[in-house]
């Protein structure tokens, strides 16, 4: 977080001074250049973003919620922030599914309990990944489990045990994002089995982060490497009135035929007027500006703005890194938004590793393009 130098993982804790707050505490992870960040400072900003999104989303699909959270550009590839993602995504989905007694207060309580047991590097130091107690905290809050309880505590421990077992199967080396995904899949199954509670469940996403793993991605040994494309509708998708979706691809990547194939695929997905355009035009810049202003239900509401969706100015800056886009245009409404997200995953599979979907609501009446 300070100099980007590969970290050293110590076998025994050493007293270190936090480079941010100046507090001294024992730590097992430090930078060879002497930098050290305590857990409180390391998690502070990301946890606030995760909490805000957990409270704001209306999705009933914990995997979908987690994917949006993990897409935030300020979230590190690895780290105990992912424990909060797992707990926040599951609790938000349960709340939105209408389970009685689950409110924003219960979500915050899960975060408080997670904080006591999710510490950086302890997946290797003690064999317990912070995602495990995070899911355990969800079940404990849901059942009312505490020391001395009977069935409630058994259900909570069984949930934690199943999650830990699922995570163990994906270790070597550790991957927090894989852990979140398998933990949520396991938790959703056990919620149905133990509580009769059914939540939404997206198809397994194709991971976008292999090149970012500091210890090396497990690639073919990971079920999320090149898996099926994530096609769930994002919780922040606009009402079904019309959608205009922009799809970008990097300047250096696959030959032109790859773009043509993606355009054809866009048409198959329902964007019958799909075409390639240059991103270096005033028209594209204006599209971003007007769609943010009139098409985004979160415009001007910073506390609720989706973490994966930057404001117009930030979006325009990012788009300058690209030369080609696929404009997806039709009257398909919300389904076109989902098609854009799906095409994003397929573009990644084709070798466009920086591809991203930019979606917005049409300002016209229902059925407008």
- Residues 78-115 pLDDT 10s: 999 999 999 999 999 999 999 988 999 999 999 999 99
Closest to 130 measured CA to CA, from 108, 110, 147, 144: 110
Q: Do residues 31 and 5 make contact, with C-beta atoms less than 8 angstroms apart?
A: yes
Spell out the domains of the chain, with CATH numbers in brackets: 1-37 (no CATH), 41-221 (no CATH), 243-299+311-361 (3.30.70)
Given this model, what pLDDT does residue 290 score? 57
pLDDT band at 340 (very low <50, low <70, confident <90, very high): confident
pLDDT score of 280 more than 80: no
Residue bearing the bigger pLDDT, 319 or 152: 152
Q: How far apart are CA 86 and CA 282, in angstroms?
A: 41
* Mean per-residue pLDDT of the chain: 77
Q: Edge-to-edge strands of the sheet including 243-250?
A: 275-278, 322-329, 243-250, 356-361
User: Which residues, 6 or more positions from 66, have their beta carbon under 8 angstroms from its beta carbon?
Assistant: 85, 86, 89, 180, 181, 184
Closest Cα to residue 135, out of 79, 74, 202, 182?
Answer: 182
pTM metric for this prediction = 0.57
Q: Inform me whether the pLDDT recorded for 54 exceeds 80.
A: yes
Query: Has residue 282 got a pLDDT over 60?
Result: no
Query: Is the pLDDT at 72 greater than 90, yes or no?
Result: no
pLDDT of residue 283: 56
In 3D, which of 95, 109, 77 has the Cα closest to residue 177? Answer: 77
For the cut 90, the answer to whether the pLDDT of residue 298 exceeds it is no
Q: pLDDT: is 335 or 234 the higher one? A: 335
pLDDT at 229 over 50: no
Lowest mean per-residue pLDDT among 182-191, 260-269, 317-326 = 317-326
Look up tokens 């325009």; give the residue. Answer: 316
Please say whether the beta carbons of 164 and 128 come within 8 A: yes
pLDDT of 69 reads 87
HEC letters along 17-42: ECCCCCCEEEEEEECCCCCCCCHHHH
């Amino acid at each position: 977080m300070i100099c980007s130098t590969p970290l050293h993982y110590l076998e025994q804790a050493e007293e270190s001074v936090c480079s941010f707050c100046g507090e001294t505490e024992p730590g097992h992870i430090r930078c060879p250049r002497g930098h050290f960040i305590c857990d409180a400072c390391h998690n502070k900003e990301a946890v606030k973003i995760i909490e805000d999104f957990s409270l704001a989303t209306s999705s009933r699909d914990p995997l979908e919620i987690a994917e949006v959270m993990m897409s935030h550009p300020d979230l590190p590839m690895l780290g105990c922030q992912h424990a909060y993602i797992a707990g926040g995504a599951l609790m938000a989905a349960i709340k939105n599914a209408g389970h009685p007694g689950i409110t924003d207060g219960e979500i915050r309580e899960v975060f408080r309990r997670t904080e006591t047991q999710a510490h950086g590097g302890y997946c290797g130091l003690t064999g317990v990944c912070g995602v495990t107690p995070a899911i355990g905290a969800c079940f404990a809050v849901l059942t009312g489990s505490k020391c001395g309880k009977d069935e409630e505590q058994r259900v909570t421990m069984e949930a934690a045990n199943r999650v830990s077992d699922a995570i163990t199967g994906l270790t070597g080396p550790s991957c927090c994002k894989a852990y979140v995904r398998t933990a949520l899949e396991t938790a959703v199954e056990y919620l149905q089995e133990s509580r009769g509670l059914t939540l939404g469940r997206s198809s397994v996403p194709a991971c976008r982060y292999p090149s970012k793993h500091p210890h090396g991605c497990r690639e073919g040994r990971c079920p999320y490497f090149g898996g099926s494309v994530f096609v769930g509708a994002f919780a922040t998708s606009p009402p079904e009135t019309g959608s205009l979706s922009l799809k970008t691809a990097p300047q250096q990547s696959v030959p032109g035929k790859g773009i043509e194939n993606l355009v054809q695929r866009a048409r198959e997905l329902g964007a019958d007027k799909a075409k390639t355009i240059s991103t270096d035009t005033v028209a594209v810049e204006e599209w971003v500006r007007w769609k943010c202003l009139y098409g985004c239900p979160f415009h001007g509401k910073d506390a609720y703005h989706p973490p994966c969706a930057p404001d117009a100015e930030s979006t325009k800056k990012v788009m300058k890194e690209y030369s080609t886009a696929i404009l997806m245009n039709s009257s398909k409404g919300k389904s076109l938004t989902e098609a854009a997200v799906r095409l994003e995953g397929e573009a990644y599979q084709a070798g466009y590793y920086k591809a991203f979907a930019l979606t917005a609501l049409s300002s016209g009446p229902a059925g407008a393009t």
